Amino acid sequence: MTEDEVIKLAQEKGREMPTDPPGVEFFFYREELIALVDVAVKAQREKCAKMLDEMAAQDKHSNYYVVAAKAIRERGNK
């Protein structure tokens, strides 16, 4: 994920990302960090699955991309 995507996810979780003023440190509590990482991983997983969906739409000879996208999504449900 890009830095902008991580910042957007943090903001969706209700966190403000400072612009690094001198002498100020920004940190997450453990639970917040775990929740943010979970959201980021789910978003990245779905992004990969969508790419495979697009490839599946172009591949008329196999179901490899469909199977791979399904496996990625199922992994997120465990």
Looking at the predicted structure, is the pLDDT value of residue 24 above 60? Answer: no
Q: Which two tokens stand for residue 29?
A: 């509590």
- Look at the block and give the residue holding tokens 């999504």: 73
Q: What is the pLDDT of residue 71?
A: 95
Q: What is the pLDDT of residue 16?
A: 65
User: What pLDDT band is residue 25 in, cutting at 50, 70 and 90?
Assistant: low
Q: What is the pLDDT of residue 69?
A: 95
* Residue 23, amino acid: G
For 42-68, how does the pLDDT look when each residue is reduced to its tens digit (9 = 90+)?
889 999 999 999 999 999 899 999 999
Give this prediction's pTM.
0.62
Q: Which two tokens stand for residue 14?
A: 């209700």
Residues whose CB is less than 8 angstroms from the CB of residue 35 and which lie 6 or more positions away in sequence, other chains included: 13
Q: What is the pLDDT of residue 65?
A: 95
Helix axes 3-12, 30-58, angle to 10 degrees: 120
